[in-house]
Structure 1
Amino acid sequence: MAQTATPPPKALDQQDARVKVGSGSPKDMLTNFGYRVRSGDLGPLPVVIGLIVIAVVFQALNSLFLSSGNLVNLIYDSSAVGMIALGIVFVLVLGEIDLSVGSLSGLSSALLGVLYVNKGWNPILAIVVAALSGALIGFVYAQVRNRFGMPSFVITLAGLLAFLGLQLQLLGSQGSINLPYGSGLVTFGQQQFLTPILAYIVAVLAAAAVFVAGILNIRRRRAANLSASSPANVVIRAVALLVVLLLAAWYLNRDNGVPWMFAIFVLMIVAANYALTKTNWGRHMFAVGGNEEAARRAGINVNMIYTSAFVLTGLFAAVGGVLSAARLASSSQSAGTGDVNLNAIAAAVIGGTSLFGGRGSAYSALLGILVIQSISNGLTLLNLSSAYRYMITGAVLALAVLIDSLARRSRVQHGTA
């Protein structure tokens, strides 16, 4: 009597009824995406839609908005504040905040000017010291929070005032220090662009990296008896990314091309995304942000996680200050002031990092700063005052938090929070 073949065991993640997994085909990918959206896992979708709406509106009002020259300026201006926003992502993932990132960037800019110009230090050494000053301040924040339980809101608010005062003291009565025009730092900040061929090579390498990472991920998941996407999905993603990047490089190369400063910003985002999604440290970050007590009972060194997050936030804020000084060729008392804090924090939140902790992405810094800079750039082209920029940015920020709150409620109802 013929024996009935035993069906293969279900993948481990398919045994949870809340997890919707199909065969891994492109059709199932779209089906799963629709389910995630309905259950409140919106990802970058609202921001992408917002960017499209902004582009369509401003292009209709001024045909220069989507010109290659304007887009080059837009991404150039996004780099410094975007770097600060990337640092903010780390503390937001933990449900914390750093209100002093603007002051830290201004302080690092002032340190760079004093050490490089006034003291005659080697520029590389001056940059390293200026950047590490932010990391040191972040370390101090974390120790005060861990040892005394002081809320990060209060610690960093005090830091905002203290380091602004230190910045003013360093610059003294002269108020600003001009960096040597023609120096390597200023040349990098104002005149350095990827060559056209290098931009295309980077696009191809990025798509190849996505393809290789996708295939390796499929193999790892199947070896662990987990459901995995199909290779066709990986090919579709890699080809789509390649087309988008090649078109972007071609269009920007019609003007000056891709600024090195922006390329470094994107590289830092890729590195941060890898650290958050592919390492134990990153998984511990989201675990602590989701439930600190549960993470502690699971054996995670919670204090170390908080320390690393604040150190990285301070470091990226300081690096943003260095990039800003290079872009403007000066260290001034106005560096890091004004709307730098607002834009950095708003960019991380608008890009999709939750204020409630436990959810976020390094790419939210890129998406968020592009939204904010697009609004600022578009209003400038229309010769409208800064008042409109503040009001529109505030409205977009409120809308982003509202969407996040509603999505969080939907995830709770679907049991996926």
Structure 2
Amino acid sequence: MSETLDQRSDDATRSVVAADAADERLIRHQGLQGYLHSTWARLKGGELGMLPVVFGLIVICLVFQLNEPTFLSSRNLVSITQFAAPTGVIALGIVLVLLLGEIDLSVGSVSGFAAATMAVLVVNEGLSLVVAMLAGVGVGLAIGCTYAFLYVKVGVPSFVFSLAGLLAFQGALLYVLGDQGTIVLPQDSGLREFARDRFLTDAQAYALVALVVLVYVGSKLLDIRRRKAAGLTPGSPVGVAVKAALLGLGLGYLTYYLGIDRGWSYLPVLFAFLVVVMDFALRRTRWGRHVFATGGNEEAARRSGIKVTRVYVSVFALTSSFAALGGILLAGQLTSVSQSSGTTDTNLTAIAAAVIGGTSLFGGRGSAYSALLGIIVLQSIQSGLNLMNVDSSVRFIVTGAVLLLAVAIDSVSRRARSSSGRG
């Protein structure tokens, strides 16, 4: 009798493994050969992920380094990470709204208006920096909620109300600044110090690298445990160890190399933290799954019980809040707010960064890391062209060409996914 029960248990275990291996949605190849096989299958099916932007970044670095040997110097890389961060925060909000298949053309104007609000409260009204910054972000939050109302309740397309916001908040920026035109932040402002002069010590930087590796290992081991509990094929602990080692070595060497100059600035560290938090929220929470579902097919999401209205409200609110925060950080970096704040190429750069980083314009596909990779690509192009003393007009042409290429790759991969039945 005991032997019969053991045989049934073994049969049940084999049936679970067989179901896992047979279901294409759950399939998990094991070993190096299986990993390479599954990767090739995803690429053939149009699942390119961030591969095009990573490859493009490598090409950009090689081209500029061959023409200007100082491009990959420690000092220039520190400058790239530092100046990319504020606009990258704005691009992070653009990623969210693009995941819904919508657009926000007013993030630049919102960033300038929020920064002006903060500066006026600090300099003219004498309020504390923290209160003024909260007020600036609150302005962005209120704008996002207004956008959500116009979209959900009134039915105004996002292109229309955000275009109207682009114009309206440019006017609001001029009104808030008044006759002053430009407001210079105080020399002892904590925001100026944070955005320009604060860098991690070597001990803090390496401790942060160790923390990142530990968090990565912990999340992967938790995934393995959950798959085992669900009766699915777990990932390989050896693979996790290898990837964690590569991650630690890569971040450790980058930290060492940046430390030759000034090291990690507080500003890009904050940006990276926001990216990680939003990536976790998108991939590991119910809200994130609802965002992807709504962006993929709104009607199907509604029929499945998802509160689509809440999703739109949260995303529009976050997009404008990130725009406001990015504008405030940019003001601290530039040490002032002027009539041109947020009104130059901020919109272009933020939207282009999200798309170039791999977020689809068609909704439902993308990652928080798109903002990080995309803004690094654009800032690298700007830095390289500046080092080569190329006219700014060329930078706009090159940026437009890279953006067009990114959209073309997204369209081709979308067709490949459709033809392979992946949606």
TM over 0.5: yes
1:14 corresponds to which residue?
A: 21
Deviation (angstroms), 1:390: 0.5
Give the alignment of 1:152-301 within 5 angstroms. Answer: 152-301=158-307
2:328 corresponds to which residue?
A: 322
TM-score (norm 1): 0.97
Would you say the 8 A contact 2:111–2:325 is kept in 1? yes
Give distance in 2, aligned partners of 1:35 and 1:149.
41
Deviation (angstroms), 1:21: 2.9
Structure 2 stretches lacking a partner, 5+ long: none
Give distance in 2, aligned partners of 1:415 and 1:174.
59
Secondary structure of 2:14's counterpart equals coil
The counterpart of 1:151, out of the listed 143, 154, 157, is 157
Letter in 2 for 1:169: Y
Would you say the 8 A contact 2:45–2:416 is kept in 1? yes
Letter in 1 for 2:93: G
2:45 corresponds to which residue?
A: 39
* Partner deviation per Cα, 1:230-254 (whole Å, 9 max, x = no partner): 1111111111110110011000000
Deviation (angstroms), 1:183: 2.0
Would you say the 8 A contact 1:105–1:318 is kept in 2? yes
Give distance in 2, aligned partners of 1:101 and 1:125.
22
* Partner deviation per Cα, 1:9-38 (whole Å, 9 max, x = no partner): 245553434665323x23322221111111
The counterpart of 1:48, out of the listed 46, 54, 64, is 54
Letter in 2 for 1:263: V
Letter in 2 for 1:303: T
Would you say the 8 A contact 1:26–1:232 is kept in 2? no
TM-score (norm 2): 0.96
User: Which 4+ runs in 1 deviate beyond 2 A?
Assistant: 2-7, 10-21, 225-228
Give distance in 1, aligned partners of 2:115 and 2:46.
41
Give distance in 1, aligned partners of 2:21 and 2:376.
37
Letter in 2 for 1:26: L
Would you say the 8 A contact 1:20–1:32 is kept in 2? no
Identity of aligned residues (%): 49
Give distance in 1, aligned partners of 2:222 and 2:350.
34
2:363 corresponds to which residue?
A: 357
Give distance in 2, aligned partners of 1:268 and 1:189.
15
Deviation (angstroms), 1:81: 0.3
Give distance in 2, aligned partners of 1:21 and 1:190.
46
Would you say the 8 A contact 1:101–1:317 is kept in 2? yes
Give distance in 1, aligned partners of 2:133 and 2:354.
25
Computed over aligned residues only, the root mean square deviation of the Cα atoms, in angstroms, reads 1.4
1:64 corresponds to which residue?
A: 70
Task: Give the direction of change, closer, same or farther, for the CA distance of 1:380–1:182 in structure 2 (3 Å limit).
Answer: same
Letter in 2 for 1:355: L
* Comparing 3-12 and 286-295, the one that deviates more: 3-12
* Partner deviation per Cα, 1:193-219 (whole Å, 9 max, x = no partner): 111111111111101111111000011
Letter in 2 for 1:21: R
Would you say the 8 A contact 2:121–2:127 is kept in 1? yes
Structure 1 stretches lacking a partner, 5+ long: none
Letter in 1 for 2:28: V
Deviation (angstroms), 1:225: 2.2
Give distance in 2, aligned partners of 1:9 and 1:347.
46
Deviation (angstroms), 1:188: 1.1
Would you say the 8 A contact 1:138–1:312 is kept in 2? yes
Give distance in 1, aligned partners of 2:403 and 2:357.
10
1:127 corresponds to which residue?
A: 133
The counterpart of 2:417, out of the listed 408, 411, 414, is 411
* Comparing 405-414 and 359-368, the one that deviates more: 405-414
Give distance in 1, aligned partners of 2:151 and 2:76.
43
* Partner deviation per Cα, 1:125-160 (whole Å, 9 max, x = no partner): 000000111011001000110011111000100001
Would you say the 8 A contact 1:13–1:227 is kept in 2? yes
Would you say the 8 A contact 1:14–1:20 is kept in 2? yes
Does 2:395 correspond to 1:389?
A: yes
Secondary structure of 2:396's counterpart equals helix
1:112 corresponds to which residue?
A: 118
Give distance in 2, aligned partners of 1:60 and 1:211.
37
